[in-house]
Structure 1
Amino acid sequence: MNVSRLLIAAATTLSISAFSFAATAQEKVTLRVHSFSSPVAPEAVHMVLPFIEKVREESGGRLELEFYPGMQLGGRASDLIQQLEDGVVDFVVTIPGVTPGRFAGLEGMDMPFTNVGTSAGQTASLLAFADKWLLDNEFEGIKIIHMHATDAGVLHTTRKKIDNAAAMQGLRIRAPGRYVGEAITLLGGTPVGLALGEVYEALERGQIDGMAINWAIMPSYKFEEVTKFSLETPLYQTPIMVLMRQESYDNLPDDLKAVIDNNIGIEKSVEVAKKIDELTVQAKQVVKDAGNEIYALDDAERTRWIETATPVYKIWIDEMNSRGLPGQEMFDDILAITAANGRE
C-alpha cells in the first residue's frame, strides 16, 4: 500500500485560498466540522472528538475545530459533500451511501456480503482498496483525515424475524445506501431512505418495519427500544469518512498543517476500528438486556440470500465500466482484499 498517499501525505501544491488571506504562524484559526450523526455516536466519541482535542492541544489552542453533529448547520446528510466543496464547512463526517454516485467506487465496499468481518479487518480492506483504485479519481480537492469500516450491518425489525427471504416480502426497511437497498428489493422488501435522526420515530410509529444498521450504533440512538428482533448474520459494512477541504488545509501555516498530519494515519484508523469491535460486543448485550431476540440465518439460507443479491454486483461493475474503470477487476480485488482480511 502506498501509505504516503493515503491519510498521511500533506499537499504538495497550493489551491486558491478560501480565505481572504493566508493564516500566519501566530494567528488562531477556527474551522468547522459538520457531521450527519449524533454527538454520542461511535464515530463522534471515538474518532472526531479525540481528533479535535488532540489538534487543540498540539497547536497550543491556535487551531480550533468547532463540531456540529446531527446536521446542526442545516441541510441533509446528502448535502455534506457539497457544503465541503463550497467552503461552507472545512470538515465533514459522512458515508458514501448518502451521496450516491459521488464516491461510486468507494460504494463498492458498501455492497452486501462482500465486506463483512470485524471493523479492524475490513478497515484494512477499505484503506487498501481506496489507496489502489480511488485516490486519483474520487477525492480531488479533498484531504482524507480518517476512514474506517463500521462493524457488521444487520437487519433489526419490529414485528417479526426475517429468517428466510419469504419473511422479507412487503416489509419497509430503512437502507443506508443504494446497494443495500437494491439487495433488500431483490429479497422482496421495500428500501426506505431516512436520516439516522428520523429512524427511531419511524420505527416507533410503524412507518417502517425495520432497518439495516450496524451493531455499534444501536445504543447511541436507543434503537433497542423500538425493535424486537436482530438478525446476527452480517449483511454489509459501511465506510465512515472524515474529510477535509483541501483549500482549508492548504491555507494553514506549515506548523498547523503538521498538527493535522500528526493526528491522521492508517494506524489511527485501525485503532478506532478496534474500539468499534469492542462496542459491537457491548451493543449486542444492550440488545439482549432489552429483551430482544438475536438470531441467524442457517448456512443454506445465507447462501440463497447471497445468490439473490448477486445482480447488485453487476450494477456496480457496470457503473465502474461506464466511468472508464475496470469494473470486474475492481470487484475481484474487493473479494480478494476482504477475504485476506477475514471476510466471513
Structure 2
Amino acid sequence: MLKFTGYVAAAIVSALCLASPVRADEAYPRLNFTYAHMVAANNALAKFDVRWMEIVEQRSGGRIKFKVFWSGAMGGPTEIPDLVGAGSVDFGSTALGYLPSQFPLSGVVGNMQRTFATPTDARKASMEIFSLPPVQAELTKANIVILNTTTANPYNLTCTKPIKTMEDLKGKRIRANGKYPPIFFNTFGASPQTIAFAEMYEGLEKGLIDCAWMSHDFAISSKLNEVAKFAIDLNLGAVPATQLLVNRKKFDGLPKKVQELLVSAAEQSSVDEAKYLAEVMTNTIKMDMPAKGMTYVHFEDEKKFVAAEPNMPKIWEKDIAAQGQPEAAKAIADILQKYRAKLVN
C-alpha cells in the first residue's frame, strides 16, 4: 500500500468505503498494474498522481496495486506515450505537449499562455477537449486513454530584477521553451530563451536568464528564490501539467467496475488537488516569500499588457487549420476561448 501523503483526512476515505454496499475485496479482482512517470515520486508534479493511486488502492481494499517506475526509469517524457500505447507499461504520466507532431490536438492544453484563470478551469477545459471526437481519434491511433490531467497554479515570473511595467519586460531573457511560449513573450519585446528545467537555477544564478516562467510555489520548491528574489504578480494562466495515460486495449478489457473506479479516483484526486493548490498559493505569498527574503512585486501595467497580448488559442487554431484539421481546430479553440474569456476581460 502506498503511504498516505495527501492532506485530506483519512475519515473521508473511510466514509467512502463504508458507503459501498459490498466489501471492497468482494467487489474488485486482484490486479497489479505497471506505471511509468516522468518525474520523481517527491516532485510536486507527481503529488496527485500518487494521490490517485492511493484512492484506487484504498477503495479496492488493497486488491489493486501499482508498481511505479519513477523519474523516467522506463523512458523519458517523450517516450512514455509510446510505452503505454505499446503495452510495455499499463499507465504513464507525461506532458503530451512535448509531442506536438504526434499529439497536435490533445497536446494543446499545456501550451497555452493566459488561457486558464485557475487550476480548476485548466482541468475542466482539458477534459472537455480530450472528449471531443477528433481528439479521441488521435488518442485511439496512439492506443491510449487520458484518465486525468494534473494542474499547476497560475504561472508567473520569478526574476532577478523587479518587473513593474511593460518597459521593464523589454529585453528580459525569459525561459520559454517550445513553439508557443516564445511567440507569447516576443510580443512584449522580451527575449525567450530555451533552457532545460533542471538548468534554470544555474541560468538565473549566472545571469543567462533574467526570469523563470512558472508558478510561485514551483519556483520556491525548485529553490529559485535563492538566485531570483522578485516574484511578479502578473497571472500568466494556470497550466495543465501532465496527463495520466492508460493503454486503451488494457482499459477496455477491464471490468466496468474497475474502469469506473479508475475514473472516479481521478475525479477525487483532482478535487483534492484544487483545494491543495489554493492553500499553497495563499501560503506561498503570505508566508514562504517573506520567510525566504523574496519581494512580491505588483505589475502596474496590466491593462496595457492585456491590450497588447496575443490570443494564443487563435494563433494555435490557425496553425492546426493550416495542417489540414480546420474543424477540429475550431472545436478545440472554441473551448479554449470560452475559458480564456474568464481570465482576459
Q: Shorter-chain TM-score category?
A: 0.7 to 0.9
Deviation sequence 1:266-286 (CA, Å, 0-9, x none): x54243222212111122231
1:34 to 34, 37, 40: 37
- What does 1:1-344 correspond to in 2, within 5 Å? 28-35=31-38, 37-45=39-47, 47-75=48-76, 77-106=77-106, 107=108, 110-115=111-116, 117-132=117-132, 135-140=135-140, 141-158=143-160, 160-175=161-176, 177-240=178-241, 241-252=243-254, 256-265=258-267, 268-284=269-285, 285-298=287-300, 301-310=301-310, 312-322=312-322, 323-326=324-327, 327=329, 330-339=332-341
Residues 175 and 212 of structure 2 are in contact (CA less than 8 Å); yes or no, is this contact kept in structure 1? Answer: yes
CA–CA distance in structure 1, aligned partners of residues 74 and 166 of structure 2: 40
**Amino acid in the other structure paired with 1:231:** I
**Amino acid in the other structure paired with 2:153:** D
- Number of aligned residue pairs: 311
Residues 83 and 89 of structure 2 are in contact (CA less than 8 Å); yes or no, is this contact kept in structure 1? Answer: yes
Going from structure 1 to structure 2, the CA distance change for 1:262 and 1:108 (only over 3 Å counts) comes to closer
Q: CA deviation at 1:287?
A: 2.4
**Amino acid in the other structure paired with 2:119:** S
Residues 152 and 234 of structure 1 are in contact (CA less than 8 Å); yes or no, is this contact kept in structure 2? Answer: yes
Going from structure 1 to structure 2, the CA distance change for 1:211 and 1:237 (only over 3 Å counts) comes to same
**Amino acid in the other structure paired with 1:82:** D
RMSD across aligned positions (CA): 3.1
> Higher relative contact order by CA 8 Å / sep ≥ 6: 1 or 2?
1
CA–CA distance in structure 2, aligned partners of residues 108 and 56 of structure 1: 29
SS in 1 for 2:233: strand
**Amino acid in the other structure paired with 2:33:** T
SS in 2 for 1:50: helix
Residues 158 and 230 of structure 2 are in contact (CA less than 8 Å); yes or no, is this contact kept in structure 1? Answer: yes
Going from structure 1 to structure 2, the CA distance change for 1:262 and 1:305 (only over 3 Å counts) comes to closer
Deviation sequence 1:23-79 (CA, Å, 0-9, x none): xx96652312312x343333322x11122223333444443322333323343x333
SS in 2 for 1:139: helix
Q: Mind listing any 5+ residue stretches in structure 1 that lack a counterpart?
A: 1-24
TM-score by length of 1: 0.76
Q: CA deviation at 1:305?
A: 2.8
CA–CA distance in structure 1, aligned partners of residues 250 and 99 of structure 2: 22
Going from structure 1 to structure 2, the CA distance change for 1:61 and 1:197 (only over 3 Å counts) comes to farther
Q: CA deviation at 1:251?
A: 5.0
**Amino acid in the other structure paired with 2:290:** K
Going from structure 1 to structure 2, the CA distance change for 1:27 and 1:127 (only over 3 Å counts) comes to closer
Residues 70 and 197 of structure 1 are in contact (CA less than 8 Å); yes or no, is this contact kept in structure 2? Answer: no
CA–CA distance in structure 2, aligned partners of residues 294 and 220 of structure 1: 16
